[in-house]
Structure 1
Amino acid sequence: MKKIFFLLLLLFSFEIIQAQDVLLSNNAEISVLTVGPGTELNDAFGHSGFRIKDTSRGLDVVYGYGEYDFDSPNFYLKFAQGKLNYLISKTEFNRFYQVYIYYNRSIKAQVLNLSQAEKQKLYDFLVNNYKPKNRRYLYEFFFDNCATKIKDVTNLAVNNTITFNKPKDFKDATFRTLIYGKVNKNSWGSFGIDLALGSVIDRQATPEEHMFLPENIYKFFEVATIGNGNKPLVKQNHLLYNRKKIIKSESFTTSPIFVFSLIGLFILFITFKDYKNNTRSNWIDVTLFITTGLLGVLILLLWFATDHTGTHQNYNLLWAFVLNIFVIGQLFKKTPSAWFVKYLKLLVILLCLLTLHWLIGVQVFSIALIPLLVALFIRYVFLIKYFNRS
């Protein structure tokens, strides 16, 4: 009987110790960490996390959102479909710090001006969110990412009483413009974004929607207030690591504009040669129709077959026209069907419509496409005249 009583007492004591471990002391600090951009596209926008520091409890950890779940079945398929669940992560601060120093990425900290009850509420939320049954969530780049989670969880801790004021340097911008602020327009990363993402990201973002970028979380938190508007959200801030300046050499000869300029000039050269010789190089027409048709299929799948919201209403389909892949047979005929000439005229009209969309701001397209679009326009006009002659 005494042994049973002793075991129960030990178990009860252990549970009390565990309970005490999750109770933050009065010395506890909760900070929002803002990590600067890296060198690759996937880390070009930075990162955000919560640092929970409580020396009295021997606690110094960082919680962050947006970690890949590589154990998820059909990882790449789900990623492409926009159905991949991401994870909340938990890392010892020293390890977190050393990793980002190694990659030379700046780290800034903002100590939140929270009451003891609010600190505990935020910490309890993160602990509960980190449990295996709660860790996964459906990531969305613009509206539910590593930065927006920081905003939402912080607001939850203070019962949604945060007022997000506009920073001094705030300027109205579209989602695409905000992306351009972090990615060079003449880069392959920017080209891929402009090709895959549609006109939905060319609408003006609300001030709060600017906070999908970690750097903007930092800026908005700096001037945010809690409650009646007199209490600042941030108590103090620290620069934990300042990125070392690196001279980054970018070769223009490998940039999208240069590559597509070469492709465009080559198409124009072949077209001029065909015009002078009154011939038609069928191989280049087949290549162009296959390429633009397959790209159109990809864009169409991203629009209708995935859950990515940013890929909707993508008017790159006006030049990467899906039907091109189905009319290739006409190119092998000496005298194509009469409707094919009308189809070529439609392709010219679509390119004109794309230009109009660009000019009036319906959708912004990659500047690297300009040489290719000009070459396509001239090639289509040449084909119309060639087939009309024959």
Structure 2
Amino acid sequence: MRQRLFLIILLVGSWAFSQAPQLSEKSQISLLTCAAGDELYYAFGHSAFRVQDPVLGVDVVYNYGTFDFNQPNFYLNFVKGRMIYSLSRRSFDDFLFEYELEKRWVKEQIFDLTLEERNQMLAFFEENYLPQNRDYLYDPLLNNCSSITGTILKQQYGDTIVFEDSHLEERYSFRQLVRQFLDTNSWSMFGIDLAFGSKVDRTATVQEHMFLPYYAMVQIRHTTKDGKPLLKRERTILDYAEHTKQHFFPLTPLFWFILLLIFTGIVTYFDYKHKVRSRWLDFSLFLITGLIGIFLLFLWLATDHTSTPNNFNVLWAFPLNAIVAFIFVFDDKLPDWSPKYMYAMLGLIGLMVVLWIFHVQIFSLVVIPLLLTLAVRYIYLILYSKL
């Protein structure tokens, strides 16, 4: 009866206890992997730990992927790279209900652990769940609800845990891994590619691949403890088809950037024919690229994001363009220094292409029409300055 009462207190979370219960021989600890969903923050799937013991009547999920939009300065902290995530604890049935509603599959991988090791891990979870311990600094690539799986296993069992790599046909960079789950020609992937710096183009280690729940799930199948498979048994709890997205091309960034290139080309042609300059077009292009560059520079230099430094997108989205935009808009005649500035801008685009070729940083293919748009206008402004 006391054990049943403890379960009720555990699930409602209204009582803090100093010592975790001792699990029985029939207890199990497992990793839950949940399918990707339709929203961006669900696009990569989800991972959580499950602790169950039929003797104690315990069946709870420890979820490191909990965040609160209502946190003070939530969006500011997100921009600054200081997102706080928390470990939550809830009943397995409550956890599963969300995925049943969204028709997302859930798979369970039961660990082959001794009773002592299971109790050790439960004690760790309960210690982590204390109010002073449950919050942690989130990093989308290095410290999230999925990567923490490998971190905890290593922390608890040390070098007895070995992440084998025989199943990986290729070791990918972080950018390549993210692109496997998002369409390159989507606004979300374009924005991520734009914000990511060159640091994400290094090859991830075997354990670092586990920042994606799908890779963590596969990695558990190829992980040993004391030379034996860590995975005891695997089963499907919810069996739904993978969510797929159909993109309507006229709503994609590539469509609009090609449209911008064609529009800029037509306007530039008529400008050339009539020996005039469409100041509103120059102002728009310079201001927008300049503001983008300022934001990228902010992400690079003024935030704690580990994925945004060394971002060479600032070579085409040049921050000084935001100032030049206002200089160019007031007078039809260009300043004497403008040809040199345009040559410099063309040179920066050329440098970006060189960095791309040598894989210093991999840029989004969607950006190519933007580069051509800017190049067309830069070349015309050089010619116009000589009229």
TM-score by length of 1: 0.91
Residues of 2 paired with 1:375 and 1:341: CA distance?
17
Aligned pair 1:383/2:381, yes or no?
A: yes
Q: Which letter does structure 2 place at the counterpart of 1:153?
A: I
Moved more, 344-353 or 73-82: 73-82
1:132 aligns with 131
Alpha-carbon distance, 1:168 to partner: 2.2
Is contact 2:36-2:243 (8 Å) kept? Answer: no
Q: Secondary structure of the equivalent of 2:334? A: coil
Alpha-carbon distance, 1:69 to partner: 3.5
Q: 2:302 aligns with which of 293, 302, 305?
A: 305
Residues of 2 paired with 1:219 and 1:22: CA distance?
31
2:8 aligns with none
Is contact 1:66-1:139 (8 Å) kept? Answer: no
Alpha-carbon distance, 1:169 to partner: 4.2
Alpha-carbon distance, 1:246 to partner: 5.8
1:59 aligns with 58
**Where does the alignment leave 5 or more consecutive residues of structure 2 unmatched?**
1-16
Residues of 2 paired with 1:167 and 1:35: CA distance?
24
Q: Percent identity?
A: 40
Residues of 2 paired with 1:27 and 1:252: CA distance?
53
Deviation by residue 1:90-149 (Cα, 9 ceiling, x = unmatched): 121111112112112111111000011110010011011111111111011111110111
1:255 aligns with 252
Alpha-carbon distance, 1:247 to partner: 6.3
Residues of 2 paired with 1:156 and 1:44: CA distance?
28
Alpha-carbon distance, 1:334 to partner: 3.8
Is contact 1:167-1:219 (8 Å) kept? Answer: no
1:7 aligns with none
Is contact 1:185-1:366 (8 Å) kept? Answer: yes
Is contact 2:37-2:243 (8 Å) kept? Answer: no
Q: Which letter does structure 2 place at the counterpart of 1:129?
A: N
Shift in alpha-carbon separation, 1:48–1:247, aligned structure 2, 3 A: closer
Residues of 1 paired with 2:254 and 2:174: CA distance?
22
Alpha-carbon distance, 1:154 to partner: 2.2
Alpha-carbon distance, 1:157 to partner: 2.7
Residues of 1 paired with 2:327 and 2:138: CA distance?
44
Shift in alpha-carbon separation, 1:19–1:172, aligned structure 2, 3 A: closer
TM-score by length of 2: 0.92
Q: Which letter does structure 1 place at the counterpart of 2:46?
A: H
Q: Which letter does structure 2 place at the counterpart of 1:197?
A: F
Is contact 2:264-2:377 (8 Å) kept? Answer: yes
Q: Secondary structure of the equivalent of 2:386? A: helix
Q: Which letter does structure 1 place at the counterpart of 2:241?
A: K
Q: Which letter does structure 1 place at the counterpart of 2:343?
A: K
Residues of 2 paired with 1:214 and 1:53: CA distance?
21
Alpha-carbon distance, 1:240 to partner: 1.1
Shift in alpha-carbon separation, 1:367–1:206, aligned structure 2, 3 A: same
Is contact 1:167-1:220 (8 Å) kept? Answer: no
Written as runs of structure 1 = structure 2, the 5 A alignment for 1:121-200 is 121-200=120-199
Deviation by residue 1:298-357 (Cα, 9 ceiling, x = unmatched): 101111111001011111101110001112343133433322221111011111111111
Residues of 2 paired with 1:101 and 1:269: CA distance?
52
Moved more, 169-178 or 299-308: 169-178
**Where does the alignment leave 5 or more consecutive residues of structure 1 unmatched?**
1-17
Moved more, 70-79 or 185-194: 70-79
Residues of 1 paired with 2:70 and 2:134: CA distance?
13
Is contact 1:330-1:340 (8 Å) kept? Answer: no
Q: Secondary structure of the equivalent of 1:346? A: helix
Q: 2:335 aligns with which of 334, 337, 343?
A: 337
Aligned length: 371
Residues of 2 paired with 1:334 and 1:191: CA distance?
34
2:83 aligns with 84
Residues of 2 paired with 1:364 and 1:251: CA distance?
25
Written as runs of structure 1 = structure 2, the 5 A alignment for 1:177-326 is 177-227=176-226, 229=227, 231-244=228-241, 248-326=245-323
Q: Which letter does structure 1 place at the counterpart of 2:55?
A: S
Deviation by residue 1:36-60 (Cα, 9 ceiling, x = unmatched): 1111211111111110010111100
Deviation by residue 1:209-255 (Cα, 9 ceiling, x = unmatched): 1111111111111011112x2x1111111111122356643211101
RMSD: 1.7
